[in-house]
Structure 1
Amino acid sequence: MGRVADSFCCDKCNASWRKAVKSWLTIIGIGQDGFLGLGSDAKDAINEAKHLFGGKRHFELVGKKGNVWESPIEQSFKEIDKLKGERVVILASGDPMWFGIGSSLCKRYGTEDVTVIPTPSSFSLVASKMLWPLSDTECLTVHGLENERIISFLLPGNKLIILTTDEKTPQRFAEIINELGFGESIITVFSDMGSANESRVESSASKWNNLKISNLNTVAIECLPDKGTVIKSRTPGLPDAVFQHDGQLTKREVRAITLSALCPLPNQTLWDIGAGCGSICIEWLRSQSNMRAYAVERNIDRLSIINSNALALGVPELNVVFGDALKEIIGLPSPDAVFIGGGITSGGVIEYCWQNLKPGGRLVANAVTIEGEQRLIDMHDKLGGELVKIDISRAEPLGQFRNWEPLKPVTQFKALKP
């Protein structure tokens, strides 16, 4: 990220700091107390700016006029591109580097050209009011996104602080939480924090009933399951029953082994080729923060199944791609991991995936047919790696007794790209 100024430093330190900084773009986080709540470095930057950009609310808070963000915001970014080298100030909310515009602008212009001057984020403000250690709290955003993104974080004892879209969001949270058997959870909504109109509303999810909320709000949730609720862990290996499918499902035990081989790491991308019902890529997304996944499936009837599973299990960000793998994966962002669960015998699929896999990336392929197994043996001869046979049996009733019912054996090939 770019340089970060401490808005609470003394004036002498601020003056020395400003002399040392050569960046032309300054991003300033502001709170509901507006211009008066800013430090001298932020005030000076605003007053000395040749160009100001921000939202309408931000300009009202600082009592200035400037360029209001266009929609899509990329249009405004293009205007900023033309102003490189001039004094440009961006007004943002709270900490611009926490689900804010700061990260996007740092990626666009580079860290040497950007200075960030934050104020306390909504997360910090809510945590201090709830007396929750921020280090032990999940900080999320659904602003402009699907509310179902909270689902994978609904775990016993979890504490969530969530940036919302509008006054309707808390009601939708309560509905989702109740549907998933967490009705005892406590929802606390803070509205207009830092202003004269600041308010706090609290209720259990089960008793939440369209309570009046301001449009500008942040939600805290203490997750408490109802008695008998089946918990869906984020550790790979969800029960088969939580997935809709048409028979194309990687079974729980094999799925857990497969995810282990894929080795999900934060901020990484998966290609799931022949995604079936999406179980592998969905569990990939649930396993870590800021994950990305592309589910490639040529059976059009399965697309709605994949999307439904992704929404129900809290990862609506899954990218679903329809069509033949070799055609559709061309142009996708290079993956850190590839899983091939279908189309193994299609010529060129494994080779193309291996070619586009990033260094250090993992390729994992499963086969249940003799022809598919032979293809994996050939790839093992060519690329090295590991070849494993997975045999799973489950105890099932047999009259008054039980016997072992075997699942189809799975041959698994995995290789690490140098």
Structure 2
Amino acid sequence: MAEATENPWLTIVGLGEDGPAGLSAASREAIARAEWVTGAARHLALLGDLTVAATPWPVPFADGIAPLLARRGRRVVMLVSGDPFWLGAGTVVTRHLAADEWIAHPTPSTFALAAARLGWAVEETACLGLHAAPFERLRAHLAPGMRAIVLVRDGAAVAALARYLVACGFGESALWVLEALGGPRERVRRTQAEEYDFADVLHPVAVTIEAAGRGPVLPATSGRPDDWFAHDGQITKRPVRALTLSALAPRPGETLWDIGAGSGSIAIEWLLAHPANHAAAFEADPARATRARDNANALGVDRLRVVVGRAPDILAGERPPDAVFIGGGLSDSMVEWLCKAVPRGTRIVANAVTLESEAVLARWHLKKGGELMRIEVADAAPIGTRRGWRSHYPIVQWSVTL
């Protein structure tokens, strides 16, 4: 976190739709003293006639970083929307700067303004920035009665969001379309996703959603039903997946290697466990790798990194894991490589279904310890006019912390 200093060369000013009227005294002074001002063309227009040099921030956003840094040491003001550090540009810029080089003056975010208009508790509402992100990131939040505030690019995106909700079975959801919050152009309109027909939505725009409908709801616990994942039979089935995730024990901010990922179900559930988690899925079959990526995108965890190739050859140079799951390609050489290559404290979980793979796990359990568990699952199935137990292949699971 930056501390206020006497001479930070960059001041990041949060600007609302009310323009200069909503600026603090410190923000006004920074703009008055600036040698150069930059920001979106819309932000510069809100300030009116400036007496200093001003340049619109380019698109794509990354192209503006170098010109900004080239002015290091001069008095520079960067204009952003609302709160620079809530899905804002502040985080992107300050990662290039030392703590004493910048200071920020935020104004209320769109999330705060939207919640204030509707009387919603922000801490109980999902707040998502979907300007350049897929709508699927909303999928885990779609359950009757759940609320979300979503930032989108423009009116066309609002219409597309309504269609997405209908496709998910939540067409009955109430939508509030909120334009230019906090300024003279502010407008708030209510409709339903399945009835959406606004053709005159202006930027900037946010949408608030109160979910309603009969669409399927993604469970919040690990061991989601298998039909949430497209697969060709190569999938860790629901009961075993729940036990596997329990053994992997995902913690916030951790990284998983999913080796022999198949449908990607283990890595996807790892990512669903916490928004700060990371995962890489390694799969030798290109078709399965594509399917795993599609599954991740559909469930809103498009941050899954899918790598096509055979482990351990493709593992070198990867971000060190906190946990490793071996779902395919299990061998003595694979486990030996992992024991030498991954950091101490890494958790390894491996599942085996064949006698040969069971023998591998038994040997490594003898060498490294940990827990060796046999999992047997049976389902009730018809036998003529009655029912009996239909057993699945037993699974042997080895879990160890190196």
TM-score, normalised by the number of residues in structure 1: 0.88
- 1:370 to 2:358 alignment: no
Query: What's 1:36 paired with?
Result: 21
Asked if the contact 2:139–2:218 (Cα under 8 Å) also holds between the matched residues in 1, the reply is no
- 1-structure distance, mates of 2:385, 2:110: 60
3-state DSSP class of the match of 2:178?
A: strand
Asked if the contact 1:338–1:357 (Cα under 8 Å) also holds between the matched residues in 2, the reply is no
- 1-structure distance, mates of 2:114, 2:338: 45
Runs of 4+ in 1 over 6 A off after TM superposition: none
| Displacement of 1:266 | 2.7
3-state DSSP class of the match of 2:148?
A: strand
Query: What's 2:376 paired with?
Result: 391
Query: What's 1:7 paired with?
Result: none
- 1:114 to 2:99 alignment: no
Query: What's 2:249 paired with?
Result: 263
Q: 1:337 to 1:168 in 2, by over 3 A?
A: farther
Query: What's 2:330 paired with?
Result: 344
| Displacement of 1:98 | 0.5
1:126-145 mapped onto 2 (5 Å cutoff): 126-145=114-133
- 1-structure distance, mates of 2:189, 2:97: 41
Which amino acid in the other structure matches residue 218 of structure 2?
A: K
Query: What's 2:314 paired with?
Result: 328
Query: What's 1:405 paired with?
Result: 390
Per mean C-alpha deviation after superposition, the further-off stretch among 158-167 and 288-297 is: 288-297
Query: What's 1:245 paired with?
Result: 231
Asked if the contact 2:361–2:398 (Cα under 8 Å) also holds between the matched residues in 1, the reply is yes
Work out the number of aligned pairs and report it. Answer: 399
- 2:111 aligns with one of 123, 127, 130: 123
Per mean C-alpha deviation after superposition, the further-off stretch among 303-312 and 113-122 is: 303-312
- 1-structure distance, mates of 2:171, 2:122: 24
Query: What's 2:261 paired with?
Result: 275
1:289-328 mapped onto 2 (5 Å cutoff): 289-328=275-314
- Among the aligned pairs, what percent are the same residue? 39
- 2-structure distance, mates of 1:128, 1:322: 47
3-state DSSP class of the match of 2:335?
A: helix
Which amino acid in the other structure matches residue 331 of structure 2?
A: T
Q: 1:407 to 1:209 in 2, by over 3 A?
A: farther
1:89-108 mapped onto 2 (5 Å cutoff): 89-108=77-96
Query: What's 1:158 paired with?
Result: 146
Query: What's 1:80 paired with?
Result: 68
| Displacement of 1:214 | 1.7
- 1-structure distance, mates of 2:8, 2:363: 55
- 1-structure distance, mates of 2:193, 2:332: 50
Task: Give unpaired runs (5+ residues) of structure 2.
Answer: none
3-state DSSP class of the match of 1:2?
A: coil
1:58-69 mapped onto 2 (5 Å cutoff): 58-63=43-48, 64=50, 65-69=53-57
Which amino acid in the other structure matches residue 276 of structure 1?
A: G
- 2-structure distance, mates of 1:266, 1:332: 19
- 1-structure distance, mates of 2:102, 2:318: 30
3-state DSSP class of the match of 2:318?
A: coil
| Displacement of 1:352 | 4.5
- 2:200 aligns with one of 202, 207, 212: 212
Query: What's 2:31 paired with?
Result: 46
Task: Give unpaired runs (5+ residues) of structure 1.
Answer: 4-17
Which amino acid in the other structure matches residue 208 of structure 2?
A: A
Asked if the contact 1:337–1:361 (Cα under 8 Å) also holds between the matched residues in 2, the reply is yes
3-state DSSP class of the match of 1:190?
A: strand
Which amino acid in the other structure matches residue 257 of structure 1?
A: L
| Displacement of 1:22 | 4.7
| Displacement of 1:351 | 4.3
TM-score, normalised by the number of residues in structure 2: 0.91
Query: What's 1:223 paired with?
Result: 211
| RMSD (Å), alpha carbons | 2.2
| Displacement of 1:355 | 5.0
| Displacement of 1:200 | 1.5
